[in-house]
Amino acid sequence: MTNYSFSLLTGDTGPLVKGTRPDCLRIPIHAHKPILASGDQVLSGTKIAEAKADGHGDLHSPLAGTIREVDSFSMRIEVTGNTRTDSETPPGDSGESLSRWLHNLGINVSRFRRAQTLIINAVPPEPGISIYEPLLRDYRKTLELGLDTVERMVEPTKIFLVAAKGNRANAFANCTVMHVAPTYPNGLDQLVIKAVTGRETLPGATPENTVLLSVSDLYLIGRVMETGRPATETVMTIDGQNLLVRIGTPVGFLVAEAGGSVQPGDRVVLGGLMRGIPALNLEQGVGRDSTGLHVVRKGEGLESTDNFCLGCGECERHCPARIMPGMISRCAEFKHFARAETFHVHSCIECGICGYWCKAQRPLLQYIRLAKFEIALLRTATSPAKEPEKEKDSDKCPEKTDD
Ligand code: SF4
Ligand code: SF4
């Protein structure tokens, strides 16, 4: 990790490849309310869960099979085939019915409000993730259809395509291309918004009159419009290869598909190496927001410790949100979570740069996430937490026999 590259240059990547079919899916449903139960049969495209809140579309099964288990976090489906539900015809208008139709087919439409500025983020979110490159090169028609659909709902007067300087990014019609330096964390949404509008916003927020989407978002919307079928896939970079992966595909299956293996002590990281989250086990399924997968070999990653903060200020010097990660980490370490708010913990865009530079190798991003989580619990807690469910043998996916 000491010679980690912060470059966001992707070079020429190969085509987007469709991932092979797993025998078992474990679909994350923590943001959804399941509408089917264990024992129910599903087809590819059957709706399995409804979004509980804004920020998500409904969920559908990517493959046909039988639901074997449903808990608060995931739905396990034993796959038997690829028989599909019928495709639907998109509504002709551009208003509420189109938005509702897209939501029903899995698209997060909560961002689509009337706005003057539409920003398309084509900057890789993290080093080693190149998912936008093949989409911009090989799927122009799908992206244009996605953009046309979004334009019908947002009605922007200005459209910006923001790319890392040196990466491929041909403009769409009526669209201005902007370049940012190809260095992490310039691809994170808050920094892209700042590059275009000059305004700083809290994570998850956009300035009034501005809507931001990624190239992957446009692609998924375009595919739903093209096919009339639900969005059940995500685009991921795995070991340098860009794959179209069915949501719920177990991470162990994807590692094996990429020709890799996981040894005791290795960590499988979902997302990039700066801000990704280790998978709990090899049966965990990828979600809609998964953009990459990395195996960190035992002893190769940066080993964080509970060393004391040295007060050196190195983390502050690199923080793009201009806050004090060292102070926030101390609040979290000593369980003074509410005090972390006085140090603007909610301004943190979770880039992880502070932890990389920390002289004491403290797990700063993890402390910050803990503080945010505990503050949210303090605000919303109304009943004692439930005992976490233990993993059962039935959690495990059957061994793969063929594709
Ligand atoms: S992760 Fe660290 S460096 Fe990044 S915004 Fe948050 S506090 Fe700042
Ligand atoms: S870089 Fe690490 S040791 Fe230095 S002030 Fe920040 S948290 Fe403390």
For 293-324, write each residue's pLDDT tens digit.
Answer: 999 999 888 788 889 999 999 999 999 999 99
Same domain flag for 44 and 133: no
Has residue 395 been placed in a domain? no
395 pLDDT more than 50: no
CB-CB neighbours of 47 under 10 Å:
17
Has residue 44 been placed in a domain? yes
Between the CA of 13 and the centroid of ligand 2 the distance, in Å, is 37
- Give every CB contact of residue 390 below 8 A, 6+ residues apart in sequence: none
73 pLDDT more than 90: yes
4 pLDDT more than 90: no
The answer to whether the CB of 16 falls within 8 A of the CB of 241 is no
Same domain flag for 140 and 212: yes
Mean pLDDT, range 97-118, rounded to an integer: 94
Instruction: Name the closest-CA residue to atom 7, ligand 1.
Output: 325
Mean pLDDT, range 179-183, rounded to an integer: 97
- Give every CB contact of residue 205 below 8 A, 6+ residues apart in sequence: none
User: pLDDT (tens digit, 9 = 90+) per residue, 23-56?
Assistant: 999 999 999 999 999 999 999 999 999 999 888 9
Q: Taking the model in full, what pTM does it have?
A: 0.90
Residue 373 belongs to domain spanning: 314-380
Among residues 301, 324, 359, which one ends one of the domains? 301
Has residue 52 been placed in a domain? yes
Mutate to test the pocket of ligand 2, among 304, 306, 307, 310 (most ligand atoms within 8 A of CB): 310
Percentage of the chain with pLDDT > 70? 94
Instruction: Name the closest-CA residue to atom 8, ligand 2.
Output: 309
Has residue 306 been placed in a domain? no
Same domain flag for 110 and 166: yes
Among 47, 142, 64, 155, smallest CA distance to 104 is for 47
User: pLDDT (tens digit, 9 = 90+) per residue, 250-266?
Assistant: 999 999 999 999 999 99
Residue type, 393: D
Same domain flag for 149 and 220: yes
DSSP 94-130: SSHHHHHHHHHTT---TT----SEEEEE-S-SSTT--
The answer to whether the CB of 251 falls within 8 A of the CB of 279 is yes
Q: What is the CATH number of the domain that holds 180?
A: 3.40.50.11540
Instruction: Name the closest-CA residue to atom 3, ligand 1.
Output: 319
Mean pLDDT, range 132-152, rounded to an integer: 95
Among residues 168, 194, 226, which one ends one of the domains? 226
The answer to whether the CB of 129 falls within 8 A of the CB of 272 is yes
Has residue 386 been placed in a domain? no
Distance in angstroms (rounded) separating the CA atoms of residues 265 and 268: 10
Distance in angstroms (rounded) separating the CA atoms of residues 248 and 285: 4
Mean pLDDT, range 5-19, rounded to an integer: 91
Lowest mean pLDDT among 42-51, 103-112, 332-341, 384-393: 384-393
Same domain flag for 62 and 150: no
Distance in angstroms (rounded) separating the CA atoms of residues 295 and 388: 27
User: pLDDT (tens digit, 9 = 90+) per residue, 238-297?
Assistant: 988 999 999 999 999 999 999 999 999 999 999 999 999 999 999 999 999 999 999 999
Q: Tokens 């595909």 correspond to what residue?
A: 249
Has residue 219 been placed in a domain? yes
Residue type, 112: F
pLDDT band at 177 (very low <50, low <70, confident <90, very high): very high
Distance in angstroms (rounded) separating the CA atoms of residues 351 and 165: 20
* Total number of domains constituting the chain: 4
The answer to whether the CB of 393 falls within 8 A of the CB of 76 is no
pLDDT band at 94 (very low <50, low <70, confident <90, very high): confident
Between the CA of 375 and the centroid of ligand 2 the distance, in Å, is 22
More confident residue, 302 or 366: 366
Q: Is 271 left (phi over 0), alpha (psi -120 to 50) or beta?
A: left
Among 44, 107, 50, 51, smallest CA distance to 77 is for 44
Q: What is the pLDDT of residue 398?
A: 45
Residue spans of beta strands (DSSP E) within 103-215: 117-121, 158-164, 175-180, 210-214
Reduce the DSSP state of residue 355 to 3 states and report it: helix
Same domain flag for 156 and 262: no
135 pLDDT more than 90: yes
Among residues 226, 244, 271, which one ends one of the domains? 226
CB-CB neighbours of 221 under 10 Å:
27
394 pLDDT more than 90: no
Mean pLDDT, range 338-358, rounded to an integer: 96
Mean pLDDT, range 373-398, rounded to an integer: 63
β partners of residue 78: 24, 66
Same domain flag for 189 and 115: yes
Same domain flag for 340 and 372: yes
Q: What is the CATH number of the domain that holds 286?
A: 3.10.20.30
Q: Which residues have any ligand 1 atom within 6 Å of their CB?
A: 318-321, 323, 325, 348-354, 364-365, 368
Q: Tokens 């539409």 correspond to what residue?
A: 118
Between the CA of 343 and the centroid of ligand 2 the distance, in Å, is 15
Same domain flag for 117 and 221: yes
Has residue 247 been placed in a domain? yes
Lowest mean pLDDT among 51-55, 123-127, 391-395: 391-395
Has residue 403 been placed in a domain? no
Same domain flag for 213 and 113: yes
Same domain flag for 28 and 137: no
pLDDT band at 382 (very low <50, low <70, confident <90, very high): low
ω into residue 264 within 30 of 0, thus cis?
no
**Sheet hosting strand 74-81, strand order edge to edge:** 24-28, 74-81, 64-70, 41-42
Same domain flag for 166 and 71: no
Mean pLDDT of the chain: 92
Q: What is the pLDDT of residue 3?
A: 59
